Amino acid sequence: MTRLRSSPIRMKKEGLFQKILNRATKRAKEQIQEPRVREFNPKTDLESLLLWQEDLFTSNFQGFQLNIFFLKEQKRRLNEAACNPNEHAIYVLEIAPGILGGFIWCRIYDTNEYGKFGSVEEIYLIPALRGKGFGRRLMEKGEQYFKCRQAKSIKLLVTITNISAVNLYKNLGYSITRWEMQKDLTTREYKEV
């Protein structure tokens, strides 16, 4: 029996988050049954949503660094959202009993400027489930919630480089209504001023 050796380059030490994400991804690949979208239960689901925050934010916000203060605030916000079903809804994608593969966090706003509208605050799928229609299922569940709350429209933010998400939203009927622009002031040109 030939034994393969790992090269020193591949033996990169993984952080706790990456280990948990890899384990969840592996379990998802092995145990995909008939996934279901269900309501978020803070007692059983909160830990998974918090573990996914780093991947969610680093993939959407260049330079994002997860810290304990951010996690505490997200925990507070998620618990608060779960206690306010008239204004928030969080749904999880359960791929097998007790194993989650993603979530969507929906919120209702009622403003003078736009009237009553829905906002997709966050949506996330573990990498193994992307491109398989599960994001669409989460979005459709969110749309049901917004319709039940008589929202006139739905808004969301997406990173322009996230092509698969942009295409999903376009296929679901979303259109670009605003541009968010950014200028980097940390370049050498601005540091010398």
Using DSSP bridges, classify how beta strands 88-96 and 99-111 pair: parallel, antiparallel or unpaired: antiparallel
Q: 67 in helix, strand or coil?
A: coil
Assess contact for 162 and 59: CB atoms under 8 A: yes
Distance CA 94, CA 166 (A): 24
If one counts every other C-beta atom within 10 angstroms of the C-beta of residue 67, the result is: 10
Does residue 115 belong to any structural domain of this protein? yes
Could you tell me which residue, 31 or 52, shows the higher pLDDT? 52
Number of domains in the chain: 1
State which of 18-32, 136-150, 170-184 shows the largest mean pLDDT. Answer: 136-150
For the chain, what percent of residues have pLDDT higher than 90? 60
What pLDDT, on the 0 to 100 scale, is given for residue 190?
A: 59
DSSP labels, 23-65: HHHHHHHHH--S-EEEE--HHHHHHHHHHHHHHHHHTTSTT--
Could you tell me which residue, 115 or 24, shows the higher pLDDT? 115
Does residue 56 belong to any structural domain of this protein? yes
Residues in the chain: 193
Assess contact for 89 and 144: CB atoms under 8 A: no
Does residue 190 belong to any structural domain of this protein? no
Burial grade of 51 (CB within 10 A; 0-12, 13-18, 19 or more) = middle
C-alpha pair distances (Å), 154 with each of 26, 132, 150, 160 = 33, 23, 11, 18
Could you tell me which residue, 36 or 23, shows the higher pLDDT? 36
What pLDDT, on the 0 to 100 scale, is given for residue 6?
A: 39
Average pLDDT over residues 144-169: 93
Does residue 50 belong to any structural domain of this protein? yes
Task: Tell me the pLDDT tens digit for each residue of 160-169.
Answer: 888 999 999 9
What's 106's domain CATH number? 3.40.630.30
pLDDT bin (cut points 50, 70, 90) of residue 17 is low
Predicted model pTM:
0.77
Which structural domain range is residue 43 located in? 15-174
pLDDT bin (cut points 50, 70, 90) of residue 5 is very low
Does residue 26 belong to any structural domain of this protein? yes
Assess contact for 138 and 93: CB atoms under 8 A: yes
What pLDDT, on the 0 to 100 scale, is given for residue 161?
A: 86
Does residue 7 belong to any structural domain of this protein? no
Does residue 183 belong to any structural domain of this protein? no
Query: Distance from CA of residue 92 to its chain's centroid?
Result: 10
What pLDDT, on the 0 to 100 scale, is given for residue 77?
A: 96
DSSP labels, 91-137: EEEEEETTEEEEEEEEEEEEETTTEEEEEEEEEEE-GGGTTTTHHHH
